[in-house]
Amino acid sequence: MFFGSFALILVLLYFNYIDIKKRHYTQLKHYSKVVSRAIHSDLLQNEMILTVIGKQLLDNDNYKDKQKVQKLFDELLKQNPSYIGFGLADIDGNLMATSSNIKVSKDYNFLKNKKTVDDFKRVLKSKKMIVARTYFFKNIDEWIIPLRKAILDENGNILAVMITGLRNDKNRNIIEGLGVSNDQSIAIIKDYNYEHKMYRQYVSQIGDISNDIMYNTVIPNSLIESIKRTLKIRYDLSLDSLRENGQTVSIKITTSFNKSLIAGMTYDKDYKLWIFVQASGSTIVSEFFNNLFIYFALFIASFIVFYFLFKKIALSDRKQQEELIFQAQHDSLTKLPNRTFMYAHIEKWKKRHDTEYFVLYLDLDNFKNINDKFGHTVGDKILVEVAHRLEMFFYEDDMLIRQGGDEFIVLKECIDANNIEDNIESLISLISQVYHIDAKEFRIGVSVGIARYPIDAKETEELLSIADTAMYEAKKRKNSYCFFSETMRHENIVKTDIEQELRSAIEKDELWMVYQPQIKADGSLYGVEALVRWENEKLGFVGPDKFIPVAEETGIIRELGDFIINTALSEVATIQAQLNLEFSLAINISGVQLMEVNFLETFLKQIENSNFNRASVTLEITESVSIEKMDDVLNVLYDLQEHNIKISLDDFGTGYSSLSILRELPIDELKIDKSFIDKILYDDNEKALVQSIINIGKNFNMKTLAEGVESEKQVQNLKEANCDIFQGYYYSKPLTKEHLLEYLK
């Protein structure tokens, strides 16, 4: 913009300069024309006066009577004070008479005087008035412009010459009122082209140059030549053609006094005078510089304005941008930086802590429960408070990020590696302290997973991922922390492999069901538990305890669950039909499946499709999964019970179920975990524990099932303890449908 407008201004200035120049030249030309007309008419008037006087003198040969002539002259002078006086000369140049104010010697002869001889000769040859050379007239002590006019008789013979003069007064501008301004001047140059001599007749402003030099020096030839050249170039005219046609032109000249001038010039053919109206060449320049100054002042002023304007715009732009960046990089609820912030700043942060640092992955325990029970407003307030406590806890240079939901990430500088465990413990106890929200008290736990740079991993993504894994490990205990370990890494890798292969397992027909018989205390068949099996090309045989959790985490369990239910129902239904034998079918159901929106509906339809007796279906739910989300599943369990579907609490004793929960749940069967059964033979405490579980079951009107029975002794012990049903290798390993058919037969 700066350079663009600078160039524009230069162009404008250029045209401005041309315009100023043109205007000055045109003006001078115009003035020259006006002035030359005024001078011409002035001279014409003088000529007429002289002609009239001459006529009077001719009458009765008056001019011969000196007394009469003088009297006439004096009278005339009184009426026309601009004349310096009058004189009359005979044709031989002798002064015959003068007005009485002129005192010259009686024998003055114009033809004998060097200064007057040329002009006098011209008068004798001309019928017109002659303007003679300006000279200093000692008699009256003034510079004068002499005028001469021949007096002719009727036949055209010259009888005498009238002589007068005009004051060449430098203070008197003879063309006053013609609009010529102070910085312009007028010069009248007398030109006899036949003599090649030019003299100044009148110059309105002579400055410090003496009249003598001004009027008594001939105009140098070099100046005339230069004017001729200029005329040739500008107008393609010669001086002679100008003399001929009286055209007005404008030129630039350097005077003999070395002044640079611009001028309009016109030739008066009658009186042989050049009329110049001239101005100093510097007037153009100074006017131009005035404009230049104004232009540049405006230019600079507008740039100052622009500068501040742009600065202001840029500033508010930057502010807005910073605001946007802040918004994009911060969480709106807690005002903590978010993941975007982390990715934007992590490289710099890492440079500052390149030797060692920790990545903490924090996840609040049971936060979902608070949200569900008390609403999101309370949940939000707790999150804000948690964020506040975290901010207080960590150092300025630790990078605290809200990862989303109830999860936070901290990049923690390593100040004292030995103290990190104490540090995390005090963090956990700080977060676990009571929260006062809306006049209520809340407690919340936090699980922390920790990854160490550079021991555990070097890449940020991996550090985050393994800290997350460690957090899941900590979650199993709740309100605790866990460092990432190599075992976890291995499990992680296995998990990833399992996930990848499991996605296509059903399609590839790699899954099948096996059935493990369940036997009543009297030795008759109670039913079977359906267990899934998977053999993969790459991973070989993978146990359900390995891939079921992966399926649950990744959501594959939905598809897998459908496969299990459909296969188990149809296969067992077929066997039952073949043998005409009805027995119970227990299907393991994951908590994730149970919480599917249409679980019950779909399940009922699946039972119906396979022609299965609903009353013979048992769903096994794992204690550890179901208890945590008890509120969610409780309704489903009641619905299932309503539809005559039995529920068995699997792995009983390994979870945290309290007796009060047992009373609330619509459970038909307690499945005592294998770990208890294993110990009853050699541990009396364990035996007593199993006994009391069986008693509790009886109290709540539930059947008790012992799983993992491997020996007869165990069976005997359990029978004594009044256990209802037995399942385990002692009776049979899980069997394929073909083997089950054989077994049942």
Least distance (Å) from ligand C2E to the CB of residue 610?
16
Least distance (Å) from ligand C2E to the CB of residue 674?
6
* List 331, 468, 501, 650, residue binding Ca ion (CB under 5 A): 650
- With CA atoms as reference, report the closest residue to 647 among 587, 693, 557, 596: 587
Q: Rg of the Cα trace of the chain?
A: 64
Residue 404 binds what, of ligand C2E, Ca ion, none (CB under 5 to 8 Å, by partner type)? none
Nearer CB in complex with Ca ion: 25/726: 726
168 neighbors 134 (Cβ within 8 angstroms): yes
* Contacts (Cβ under 8 Å, ≥6 apart) of 98: 70, 73, 85, 86, 87, 88, 104
- Which residue in the shown chain puts its C-beta closest to Ca ion? 620
Cα angle at 378 between 374 and 383, to 5 degrees? 130
Nearer CB in complex with Ca ion: 501/651: 651
Cα angle at 544 between 446 and 661, to 5 degrees? 50
Least distance (Å) from ligand C2E to the CB of residue 720?
19
Nearer CB in complex with ligand C2E: 501/651: 651
Amino acid at site 369 = N
Measured CA to CA, the distance from residue 42 to residue 38 in angstroms comes to: 6
**Which sign, positive or negative, has the C-alpha torsion 317, 322, 323, 329?**
positive
Nearer CB in complex with ligand C2E: 484/652: 652
Nearer CB in complex with ligand C2E: 410/531: 531
- Residue count at the site for Ca ion (CB under 5 A)? 4
Considering the rule CB under 5 A, would residue 479 count as an interface residue with Ca ion? no
* List 363, 468, 620, 669, residue binding Ca ion (CB under 5 A): 620
- Candidates 190-198, 376-384, 590-598, 617-625; binding stretch for Ca ion (CB under 5 A): 617-625
Residue 184 binds what, of Ca ion, ligand C2E, none (CB under 5 to 8 Å, by partner type)? none
Pick left, alpha or beta for residue 47 (phi over 0 → left; psi -120 to 50 → alpha; otherwise beta). alpha
Nearer CB in complex with ligand C2E: 362/573: 573
Least distance (Å) from ligand C2E to the CB of residue 512?
11
- Candidates 126-134, 537-545, 647-655, 684-692; binding stretch for Ca ion (CB under 5 A): 647-655
Residue 710 binds what, of Ca ion, ligand C2E, none (CB under 5 to 8 Å, by partner type)? ligand C2E
* List 119, 365, 398, 651, residue binding Ca ion (CB under 5 A): 651
- With CA atoms as reference, report the closest residue to 631 among 370, 365, 432, 375: 370
Nearer CB in complex with ligand C2E: 229/733: 733
Residue 734 binds what, of Ca ion, ligand C2E, none (CB under 5 to 8 Å, by partner type)? ligand C2E
Residue 146 binds what, of Ca ion, ligand C2E, none (CB under 5 to 8 Å, by partner type)? none
Considering the rule CB under 5 A, would residue 331 count as an interface residue with Ca ion? no
Cα 561 to Cα 513, 528, 566, 610, 646, distances in angstroms: 12, 18, 8, 16, 18
- Candidates 254-262, 267-275, 450-458, 643-651; binding stretch for Ca ion (CB under 5 A): 643-651
Q: Which of residues 511-530 bind Ca ion (CB under 5 A)?
A: none
Residue 204 binds what, of Ca ion, ligand C2E, none (CB under 5 to 8 Å, by partner type)? none
Least distance (Å) from ligand C2E to the CB of residue 361?
27
Residue 690 binds what, of Ca ion, ligand C2E, none (CB under 5 to 8 Å, by partner type)? none
A 10 A CB-CB count for 112 gives 13
Nearer CB in complex with ligand C2E: 413/686: 686
- With CA atoms as reference, report the closest residue to 73 among 116, 44, 102: 102
- Candidates 41-49, 255-263, 323-331, 651-659; binding stretch for Ca ion (CB under 5 A): 651-659
* Crossing angle between the packed helical segments 281-329 and 339-352, to the nearest 10 degrees: 100
Nearer CB in complex with ligand C2E: 334/590: 590
88 neighbors 63 (Cβ within 8 angstroms): yes
Residue 594 binds what, of ligand C2E, Ca ion, none (CB under 5 to 8 Å, by partner type)? none
Residue 548 binds what, of ligand C2E, Ca ion, none (CB under 5 to 8 Å, by partner type)? ligand C2E
Nearer CB in complex with Ca ion: 588/714: 588
Residue 584 binds what, of ligand C2E, Ca ion, none (CB under 5 to 8 Å, by partner type)? none
Measured CA to CA, the distance from residue 703 to residue 648 in angstroms comes to: 9
- Candidates 94-102, 144-152, 335-343, 616-624; binding stretch for Ca ion (CB under 5 A): 616-624
Eight-class DSSP state of 735: B
Helix, strand and coil in the chain, % to nearest 5: 50, 25, 25
Report the chain's terminal Cα–Cα distance, integer Å: 99
Cα angle at 404 between 401 and 410, to 5 degrees? 25
A 10 A CB-CB count for 577 gives 11
Measured CA to CA, the distance from residue 514 to residue 558 in angstroms comes to: 19
Nearer CB in complex with ligand C2E: 262/530: 530
Least distance (Å) from Ca ion to the CB of residue 527?
12
Least distance (Å) from ligand C2E to the CB of residue 688?
22
- Strand, helix or coil at 337? strand
Q: What are phi and psi of 608, to 5 degrees?
A: -60, -45
* Contacts (Cβ under 8 Å, ≥6 apart) of 563: 506, 511
Residue 532 binds what, of ligand C2E, Ca ion, none (CB under 5 to 8 Å, by partner type)? ligand C2E
84 neighbors 137 (Cβ within 8 angstroms): yes
Measured CA to CA, the distance from residue 413 to residue 397 in angstroms comes to: 7
Facing residues of 512 across strands? 533
Residue 543 binds what, of ligand C2E, Ca ion, none (CB under 5 to 8 Å, by partner type)? ligand C2E
Nearer CB in complex with ligand C2E: 207/555: 555
Instruction: Please give the residue ranges that form the binding site for ligand C2E (CB under 6 A).
Output: 516, 530-532, 543-545, 548, 564, 588-590, 620, 622, 650-651, 707-710, 727-729, 734
Residue 164 binds what, of Ca ion, ligand C2E, none (CB under 5 to 8 Å, by partner type)? none
Measured CA to CA, the distance from residue 278 to residue 599 in angstroms comes to: 112
Least distance (Å) from Ca ion to the CB of residue 660?
23
- Strand, helix or coil at 197? strand
Least distance (Å) from ligand C2E to the CB of residue 602?
15
- Residue 622 is encoded by which pair of tokens? 């794992």
Q: Which of residues 539-598 bind Ca ion (CB under 5 A)?
A: 588
Residue 516 binds what, of ligand C2E, Ca ion, none (CB under 5 to 8 Å, by partner type)? ligand C2E
Measured CA to CA, the distance from residue 287 to residue 268 in angstroms comes to: 31
Least distance (Å) from ligand C2E to the CB of residue 671?
7
Measured CA to CA, the distance from residue 46 to residue 288 in angstroms comes to: 42
Dihedral of the alpha carbons of 559, 564, 570, 571, in degrees to the nearest 10: 140
- Candidates 110-118, 154-162, 427-435, 614-622; binding stretch for Ca ion (CB under 5 A): 614-622
Nearer CB in complex with ligand C2E: 49/519: 519
- Residue 658 is encoded by which pair of tokens? 């309290």
Least distance (Å) from Ca ion to the CB of residue 574?
22
Nearer CB in complex with Ca ion: 144/640: 640
- With CA atoms as reference, report the closest residue to 721 among 675, 661, 669, 681: 681
466 neighbors 491 (Cβ within 8 angstroms): no
Least distance (Å) from Ca ion to the CB of residue 670?
11
DSSP per residue, 691-709? HHHHHHHHHTT-EEEEE--
Measured CA to CA, the distance from residue 152 to residue 214 in angstroms comes to: 35
Footprint of Ca ion on this chain (CB under 5 A)? 588, 620, 650-651
